[in-house]
Structure 1
Amino acid sequence: MKQMKTYIKTGWFLASFFFAIQGHAQELEGYIQEALSNNPEIQKVDVQYKIASEKVNEVNTLPNTEFNFSVMAVSPEMEMPMERYRVSVMQMLPWFGTITARENYVTSMADAQYVEVALAKRKLVLAVAQRYYQLYNIRAKQQVLDKNMSLLQSYETLALTAVEVGKASAVDVLRLQVRQNELQEKKAVLMQQDKGIQAALNSLLNRDYDSEVTVVPVMEMPKTDAVVHYDSLALNPELLRYDKLYRSIEQAEALNQKESGPMLGVGVGYINQEDSPMITSSYKDMVMPMLSVSIPIFNKKYKSQTKQNQWRKQELQFQKEARLNGLRADLSKAVSQRNQARITYYAQADNLKQTQDAERILVKTYETGTIDFNDVLDIQELQLKFQINQIEAVKAYYEQSAIINYLIQ
């Protein structure tokens, strides 16, 4: 039942994440599912969980049964009956409840290991989303550069015409061409960055580094966001890990108390004797029930283990408190940066609209016979800056949203 609850929490997180992205990135959902199925890191921790679960069968056993056999090699000449051989069997039994305590301890360790599986999945989902948004950022910038280069080409045509009629100089044409070369250089750099990020994403999907990865061409900036509840941090596997480890220490101490008790041994011995006139009974052989007790008189080991377990629990409490403070700081930072991204996006949108109005005014002045191509380049550079800033803001918004989902979903 405990494991089932953990599975439900993991599935709910993934469903919540997909719900958050489904409006703009169906491809991302597919990549996340592919990564969860194929990523070797997930497969590794999953196998580790299976190993931890199998240990329950390992500890559900009794100590080895002892068999003893001895035979008289040389029989002395005596009138009294001599034994021929002796056989005995002895089984040691741990104190009542010890095996159950072992099972409980190993089960608690398996539960703690499964939290590692859930945590690894969360980290993988976050890593895939971040690489996806980085790839979107690069490709969106390439699209903007293409549009700006096309715009500069149209301005170059205007400048050439203006040069022919004496309304512009060849320097203006050269400036426009240099600006196009600069944009072409930036695009070439972005193409190389694209290959690197695509290879990184493919490695998370466990496929060839140069496999094609598609992203949506446009991501919209939402107007509002759901309220973030800091209490939801309690569901984060990074904190649940400490709860599971604390429980495992409690079970370890329960096992320690059981193992500090005595062990009981039960068995039977059989002695086969030679025939002798001294034996008047019809039963010359002997059968002896046996009982033994193993008492840990020198039990400093168990007392020391109890103290260590107490300190381990205190250590985990401090670690959990420190990690909770860290997660709260991370969540606060992510919310703040997401809000900053939205503010930046809409501020750049206003600036971009104004530069577009200025561009239309410049084009109209050409119709009246005058145009300043220095102003054209300035406006174009501002437009590109604002467009790039918008793309960066969108990427930052969704990256921070992915971090928030990682922390609280």
Structure 2
Amino acid sequence: MKTKNILSVLFILVFSCFSNAQELQSLINEALANNPKIQKFELQHAIASEKVNEVNTLPNTQFGIGYFASEPETRTGAQRFKISAKQMLPWFGSITARENYVNSLADAKYEDIVIAKRQLITDVSQSYYKLYTIQAKQDVLTKNIELLKTYETLALTSVEVGKASAVDVLRLQMRQNELEQLKQVLAQKYLAEQTALNKLLNRESTTVVEVVKELDIPLEKNEIDVKKLELHPELSKYDKLYQSVEQSELLNQKESSPMIGFGLDYIAVSERPNMNFSDNGKDIVMPMVSLSIPIFNKKYKSKTKQHQLMQEELLSQKQERLNKLETLLSKAINNRIASRISYNTQTKNLKQAKDAEEILIKNYETGTIDFNDVLDIQELQLKFQMNQIESIKDYFVQTTIINYLSN
């Protein structure tokens, strides 16, 4: 139930970034259900939980049987053989201490599942946004190729009336060839990224992945609560490990206590011949109680010292990880802001490039056009469009990192 609640929150935060998110949500659901890494951590948690049954046991019962090769004579007869049974019992609360220790290890393993699922959501989302970026760039290249074909038609007409040279036509054709090459390269990159995403979902590499046709950077959001970072499962895991060390120390204290043993010896006795008395041949039954005392307890003191050092180490590791996560969150926040700034700048530049294009078209209507300027404007437009797509991708990629860290 706890995992479902966490994932529901993450879904809402990831998908609130854009309207058509059903496809990504279904991909994430499929990944969470089929990803081998998640299954691995779930199995590890199941194994750790099952160990509770392993430790909830008593020490082995000891049985012994001995035969007297030379039967010792007693007043009641000769002893023939001996059977013994013995059971040691740990100190009061030792088994409970073992169970608590194993449960604390299982709790720490559970955090691995939560972390892995968060990371998987991030990986699937980022791969999805990369596919969107490649597809969007392909669409832009297609539109630019069509634009160049229009310019090529204008150039051919200008050549016929002597207002342009064949070189201008060839330049426009060479530029089209370059863009076609870029499209083919992007097609291969799309297939590679599609394979990566399919493998996160543990399905066939060639399965077609459909992505949204358009993404827009949303309006400004509320400030991110950085304090939530302290509740991140990567840090919670250190708390669980710290608790497991505490439970290990409690177990250590119990194991340093005495053990009580209960046993029974049975000795078979033969009757003495030619004698008649009440205990003749009477077998011997001897209940026993034993006490195992750890007189040489240096190892338990050493374990206590080790546990103290381990706790100090875990606190240091947690602080170190917190510092890294804070750095990552700060970078993601600032990079997302930078992506918005870049997007706005590219939008302005693109509008101005289109204005310049319109001026060139009007010049053509008046009989003058410089196809070098046409190519320059087309290259600028393509550059601004590509940068705009990259800014959108960066914005959403940084959003996935922020969601991973702060939710």
Q: Smaller-chain TM-score range? A: over 0.9
1:137 match: 133
In 2: Cα distance, 1:281 partner to 1:10 partner: 77
Aligned pair count? 405
Indicate the residue corresponding to 1:167 in structure 2.
163
| Unpaired segments ≥5 residues, structure 1 | none
User: Amino acid of the residue matched to residue 134 of structure 2?
Assistant: I
Superposed displacement of residue 84, structure 1: 2.6
Task: Give me the identity figure in percent.
Answer: 57
Q: How does 1:267-282 map to 2 (within 5 A)?
A: 267-276=263-272, 277=275, 279-281=277-279
1:157 maps to what in 2?
A: 153
Tell me, yes or no, if structure 1 residue 210 matches structure 2 residue 225: no
User: 1:38-49 counterparts in 2 under 5 A?
Assistant: 38-49=34-45
- When residues 204 and 143 of structure 1 are mapped into structure 2, their CA distance, relative to the original with a 3 A threshold, is same
CA RMSD, Structure 1 to Structure 2 (Å) = 1.7
Matched, 1:221 2:217: yes
- Aligned-pair distance for 1:210? 1.7
Report if the CA contact (8 A) 1:263-1:295 is conserved: yes
Amino acid at match of 2:138: Q
Structure 2 counterparts to residues 268-347 of structure 1, below 5 A: 268-276=264-272, 277=275, 279-281=277-279, 284-347=282-345
**Any idea what SS the aligned residue of 2:288 has?**
strand
Q: Which residue does the alignment assign to 1:199?
A: 195
Which residue among 352, 355, 359 is the counterpart of 1:354? 352
CA contact (8 A) 2:245 2:310 kept: yes
Give 1:378's aligned residue.
Answer: 376
1:20 Cα deviation (Å)?
Answer: 3.0
Note if contact 1:81-1:278 (Cα within 8 Å) is conserved in structure 2: no
| Structure 2 contact 17–218 (Cα < 8 Å) conserved | no
Q: Which of 382, 401, 404 in structure 1 is aligned with 2:402? A: 404
Aligned to 1:108: 104
SS for the counterpart of 1:69 is strand
Q: Which residue of 1 aligns with 2:173?
A: 177
Confirm or deny that 1:36 pairs with 2:32: yes
Displacement of 1:77? 7.4
Distance in 1 (alpha carbons) for counterparts of 2:207 and 2:4: 33
The answer (yes or no) to whether the contact 2:10–2:403 under 8 Å persists in 1 is: no
Q: Show structure 2 runs of 5+ residues with no match.
A: none
Q: How does the TM-score come out when normalised to structure 1?
A: 0.95
Partner residue of 1:117?
113
Question: Higher mean Cα deviation, 22-31 or 11-20?
Answer: 11-20
Amino acid in structure 1 at the alignment position of 2:182: K
- Superposed, 1:74-113 pairs within 5 Å as 74-75=70-71, 80-113=76-109
1:367 corresponding residue in structure 2: 365
Distance 1:223 1:78, change over 3 A: closer
Residue 246 of structure 1 pairs with residue 242 of structure 2 = yes
Relative to the length of structure 2, the TM-score reads 0.96
Secondary structure of 2:157's match? helix
Q: Does the Cα contact within 8 Å between 1:262 and 1:296 map onto a contact in 2? A: yes
Partner secondary structure for residue 82 of structure 1: strand
Contact map agreement 2:81 2:267 (CA 8 A) in 1: yes
Question: Which of 63, 70, 75 pairs up with 2:66?
Answer: 70
Q: CA shift at 1:73, angstroms? A: 3.9
Superposition deviation, residue 271 in structure 1: 2.1
What amino acid is aligned across from residue 142 of structure 1 in structure 2? Answer: Q
Q: Which moved more, 1:64-73 or 1:15-24?
A: 15-24
What one-letter code is carried by the residue in structure 1 that aligns with 2:237? R
In structure 2, what is the equivalent of residue 61 of structure 1?
57
**Deviation >6 Å, runs of 4+:** 76-79
Alpha-carbon distance change, 54 to 77 in structure 1, aligned in 2, over 3 angstroms? closer
Deviations 1:90-142 (A, max 9, x none): 11000110000000000000000111111111111111111111111111000
Shift of 1:79: 6.8
1:202 maps to a residue whose letter is N
Instruction: Report the residue type matching 2:104 in the other structure.
Output: S
Report the CA distance between 1:235 and its aligned residue. 2.2
Tell me if structure 2 keeps the 8 A contact 1:344–1:390: yes
The code of the aligned residue for 1:339 comes to I
Q: How does 1:9-20 map to 2 (within 5 A)?
A: 10-20=6-16
CA contact (8 A) 2:119 2:404 kept: yes
Letter in 1 for 2:180: Q
Q: Which moved more, 1:290-299 or 1:30-39?
A: 30-39
C-alpha spacing 1:318/1:291, structure 2 compared with 1 (3 Å)? same
